[in-house]
Structure 1
């Protein structure tokens, strides 16, 4: 019988040769509801698909007969060296994939020599992460209805020595992730089919739930009612804390309050990028929230060149959403980004193999970056530029 192409079907994350293969392993290692939370997009998932299509529409124009034996992917970001242009993006609920998942991700990032960004809605406190993980720690912030929550996070992030504060501005009107919601018969209550699926994942249950209990939203726990402090109920309560009245005045206030690097995450047009620079931001993140907020939104890679041309000499430009290959990272740098945030990719690794799995995910991407540089005839990221790219389907 002829062999056919198919991805590895087991659960050993070390067998994964790509992020897509690691994704399929992660799907088997955790209950469906936990995987869907990581994997799904908003509404019809048009933005989710567009993020990938945008990368696929860009082709390479490589150089040849270039000695690339000394190539590297090191960069300087905010005046400090990084081993690669990657930053681990802020993601919530990581404790539902692995016990103390945020610590595992931060340690993997520290080992790789790249920054890690902790979410406001993480399952580990800032202070614990700073103590147990080390490395370059950034703190993500939502400004909520109760502004004292932001003041609390800012103070604690400062005391913990966080290098940067990352204000997320594109989620205060919360996206509707329908495939995630379909796993619940009521807020915090899984459907019977999903409960049965949990029973089919005893290793996950014994790692995440027993003996630790359902993960809690540790960084905002003092501001939640007692019944909403665990992820089971709190996941339905947290959107109520997010309000649509966050404005540029809040960013001005943050700039006055925060003493170190300030990054605005949620920019997709030149005017907003320029205003962020004018208000004293040190960096911006071009993002559509990984396709999880506004469905039908433009892909960040499509607006990157014009934003880089406008403010690239004033701000560190970071880009995220849809990155699955090292080639995607190289394309972003060639189009003017200074760094790339990755969210889902290390989460697949975390789900499949904890800290070691997250390290494997980072290693897959950095290995691909290295190969692409060599195949392009480049020895460093500083040699990249739009001259190496062509739009296969120009708009």
Structure 2
């Protein structure tokens, strides 16, 4: 079916439309992973091995997906994950996604390297949002950004720890946004890609300005486009960060602290010992070290190691409400979705994200009802069977 006639329902539907609407370099930036993208694929395929157990003749006339994430009530245990350069996918896309998340009753997480600044997102509504931060070499900048986040009402900080160095992402190299491309490759990824996507060029390229990393404009005043900011951010990533730095962060941040990028039970234990309120089991969407385990495959071990000392969330591979059910059954308190909302905002803006979240909540409701449970607290490992690869 041609994508122009497609009525989108699933994450894959939105992905197909986004691929048509976005310049190739932007679609590949969102869609791609590290090296040969084995982990990216495994994140998704490993969910298919988790079979729900259908149970009948239970009273499921009042199924509710309501839950709690980071101490906040939500309509389902799901948050929009931070997506770097998200505002390039649609006009002021992070603003549109925040509005959609508000309407769906779930948290939105703003990336450090978002196009829209903290203050612009805060102006959307009085509903709080989460903020994601990297440990930068300049700790004074870290402190200042945290102060700005607190001043606009952020009370949940998502701190990403799996970016000591940037993963080798071949699609970005081929498209000229990570260095290494030929002059022809850069032209094809730049001007020619814009010309072949005139709707994006007008709506985002012209009407969606400024194309700067809003949270960092003050610190890179000479930069005029995202690629120049990327270079500065890359130089600021601090490969010397240890759990002692997390203890320092815990000492200056008075809100919830969630550590994102945990992929082993040992690191989960260290995060809890450093004072984290939660951990996000994540391999950065398969964008860092290719070949590592899928997020869902290591979730049970992390859950057991944490043993209630911190909240356990999962990021990576969630593509449906049924996947939310599966993650919950294997021990997640909640999940984050990145690529699905990125595809949806590129395909349909605010309405696309809101419709995607509505569909995922409906899928979660159906999964719960057909497995014989009517509230999130009753979802457990007895309701699924994990088949071997």
Task: State TM-score, norm by structure 2.
Answer: 0.94
Map 1:262-281 to 2 at 5 A: 262-281=257-276
Aligned to 2:201: 205
2:192 paired residue number: 196
Residue 348 of structure 1 and its aligned partner are, at CA, apart by: 0.6
Cα deviation, 1:182-219, whole Å, max 9, x if unaligned, reads: 11288498633333232121111111121454510111
Uncovered stretches (5+) of structure 1, i.e. residues with no partner: 1-6
Cα shift at 1:293: 0.5
Q: Alpha carbons of 1:149 and 1:338: their partners in 2 closer, same or farther (altered >3 Å)? A: same
Aligned: 1:70 with 2:62: yes
Aligned to 1:345: 340
**Residues in 2 aligned to 1:207 and 1:388: alpha-carbon distance in whole angstroms:** 46
Which has the larger displacement, 376-385 or 36-45? 376-385
The answer as to 2:231 corresponding to 1:239 is no
Q: Following TM superposition, by how much is the alpha carbon of 1:312 offset from its aligned partner in structure 2, in angstroms?
A: 4.1
* 1:221 CA drift (Å): 1.6
Give the gaps of 5 or more residues in structure 2. Answer: none
| Residue of 291, 295, 300 corresponding to 1:300 | 295
Matched, 1:152 2:144: yes
- The within-5 A match list for 1:162-201 is 162-184=154-176, 187=179, 191-194=186-189, 195-201=191-197
SS at match of 1:262: strand
Deviation string 1:48-71 (CA, Å, 9 cap, x unpaired) is 111112111111222111121210
1:355 equivalent in alignment to 2:347? no
Show the counterpart of 2:213: 217
Matching residue of 1:101: 93
Counterparts of 2:317 and 2:177 in 1: how far apart (Å)?
30
CA distance in 1, matches of 2:161, 2:224: 24
Q: CA deviation at 1:18?
A: 1.1
How many angstroms does 1:234 deviate by? 2.3
Q: Which residue of 1 aligns with 2:3?
A: 9
The CA RMSD measured in Å over matched residues stands at 1.8
Residue 85 and residue 290 in structure 1: after superposition, are their counterparts in 2 closer, same or farther (change >3 A)?
same
Aligned to 2:386: 391
1:27-106 aligned at under 5 Å gives the runs: 27-106=19-98
Over residues 94-135 of structure 1, what are the superposed CA-to-partner deviations in whole Å (9 max), with x where a residue is unaligned? 111112111111111111111111111111111221122442
Say which of 375, 381, 390 aligns to 2:376: 381
Number of residue pairs matched by the alignment: 385
Q: Is the 8 A contact 1:107 1:134 kept in 2?
A: no
1:248 Cα deviation (Å)? 0.8
- The alignment partner of 2:3 has SS state of coil
Among 103, 117, 121, the alignment partner of 2:113 is 121
Distance across 2 between alignment mates of 1:157 and 1:121: 14
Q: Structure 1 pair 231/324, CA: closer, same or farther in 2 (3 Å)?
A: same
CA distance in 2, matches of 1:138, 1:294: 26
Structure 1 residue 225, shift from structure 2 partner? 5.2
**TM-score between the two structures when normalised by the length of structure 1:** 0.93
Structure-1 separation of matches of 2:326 and 2:171: 30
Q: Distance in 1 between matches of 2:314 and 2:201?
A: 35
